[in-house]
Amino acid sequence: GAGVSQTPSNKVTEKGKYVELRCDPISGHTALYWYRQSLGQGPEFLIYFQGTGAADDSGLPNDRFFAVRPEGSVSTLKIQRTERGDSAVYLCASSLGGYRGRNKNIQYFGAGTRLSVL
């Protein structure tokens, strides 16, 4: 597609439920990132994929959060047993990736999924 696509744009769930957030990166981008943006704050890194593998998952807050990218394109962020503190905008970004120069790592963002946990 023309840009990074995230679905759904809004998700309302109840405390304790399971949610999945989807990201479809720019075609040909091998690197994919997830960030979380709380109200009034800048985005915070969660996890980074290069291809199918998670190259850095140091930002995942706890083991309730998990992400996959099985075919190296679409990624799903999964949150188990949601808590009210998980409410935020979840952003996905993609870049060309690789190590062929810094311009290859410019990240392009989707519009985000606003998650509300009641």
Partner 1 sequence: GDSVTQMEGPVTLSEEAFLTINCTYTATGYPSLFWYVQYPGEGLQLLLKATKADDKGSNKGFEATYRKETTSFHLEKGSVQVSDSAVYFCALTGANSKLTFGKGITLSVRP
Binding site for partner 1 (CB under 8 A): 31, 33, 35, 40-45, 48, 55-56, 59, 91, 93, 95, 97, 102-103, 105-112
Q: Which is nearer to partner 1, 64 or 104 (CB)?
A: 104
The one-letter amino acid code at 51 reads G
CA atoms of 100 and 22, how far apart (whole Å): 28
Q: Which is nearer to partner 1, 59 or 72 (CB)?
A: 59
* CA–CA distances in Å: residue 76 to residues 7, 42, 47: 10, 22, 11
Q: How far is the CB of 116 from partner 1 (least distance, A)?
A: 17
Q: How far is the CB of 6 from partner 1 (least distance, A)?
A: 9
Q: How many CB atoms lie within 10 A of CB 26?
A: 17
Q: How far is the CB of 15 from partner 1 (least distance, A)?
A: 27
Query: Which DSSP string corresponds to 42-71?
Result: --EEEEEEETTEEEE-TT--STTEEEE-TT
Q: Which is nearer to partner 1, 70 or 101 (CB)?
A: 101
Residues in the chain: 118
Q: How far is the CB of 16 from partner 1 (least distance, A)?
A: 30
